[in-house]
Structure 1
Amino acid sequence: MSPIIGVLALQGDVREHLQLLAELGALARPVRRPEELDDLDGIVFPGGESTTIDKLSRAFEVREPLVARLRDGLPAYGSCAGMILLADRVVDGRPDQQTFGGIDMTVRRNAFGRQVHSFEGDIELTGIDGGPLRAVFIRAPWVEEVGEGVEVLGRVEQGEAAGRIVAVRQGALLATSFHPEVTGDDRVHRAFVEMVRERS
């Protein structure tokens, strides 16, 4: 059976995630409303603007049911803004900003700087075979600290940010600071689809 994996389609680079998931054999579909969560086996939170996605999730009344599904063990993957949305704590967020939570970590918004400071770099990821991943960072967050139950999968390896955490996993929740959906490298999504298959 192909797993049913939603992509939260309120804002951000939704299409790229849907395409990659479909290529990997998942039944991929956009999610905007509470009823679209019901039969999902997993969900992806795309890059975009975390504060906008937060506000729209409340406007579309999908936030609370989504948080409930995550607490019940729904596997989720978040890239960039999606990492912020999965964090239990956010630094440099807006005062009214809420996350969906689930990963015991503190994330700093726009940690690498503004749009002009976007960059690419090679990242070695634990559990991802085939050599380093080309990682694209666009106004990206990084992880300031993690709790005991969080596995650090990858860190920046060069430049002023060397050593900063940019990929983590806690149980069925996976998050990266970068955007694997824009490089054509499907290994992160492949790992997530396998996580979903194991759970379902």
Structure 2
Amino acid sequence: MKADITVTDNNNPHNWLNDHGDYLYRYAMSRLHDEELASDLLQETLLAGWKGHAGFSGSSSVRTWLVGIMKHKIIDHIRKEIRERNLVESVESDPTSAYFDADGSWHEAPQAWHENPEALCASGQFHTVLDRCIEKLPEKQQLVFRMRDVSGEESEAVCNTCDISATHLHVLLHRARMALRYCLQHHWFNQEEKS
């Protein structure tokens, strides 16, 4: 009777978990220090390798090729985490976030302004209050608001001058306008109602 001898074929994707799983897991752990995340990225790596194994040229070992896939998965994860962290930080530092509840509704809804816009434009006192409110804005919001809404420059010119995307310009303008509305509400319109 012949003894059962199992020969492992490293190129066979069915053997990759047994042949390379521990190594890939340790590799992910050494970079991420998170067992659950390392397991997830191991699965994603093996799945991506399985889907793309027909395109594997064989110019390197299967393990080297799988480590290359895992490196990309780790980089993608880190980039995504940084983007999400930056988004959370920008929301937390957004001066307009104080105006809204977690569900996006107003803490205190803005009131309708009943003053004549032409009269406001002619009022030196109003311009003084508006300038003080603009000076309270973060520097980049001040710059884009003055260029776009005060000077009337085209959005494309503002984007080129400030080296920002159109999306970023709209975000900055929205935040500036919200902060200015709040400031004017408290330092001009509410004061007018009191007098």
Q: TM-score range by the shorter chain?
A: under 0.3
**Structure showing greater relative contact order (alpha-carbon pairs closer than 8 Å, 6 or more residues apart):** 1
Greater Rg over alpha carbons, structure: 2
* TM-score normalised per structure 1: 0.20
* TM-score normalised per structure 2: 0.21
Structure with greater strand percent? 1
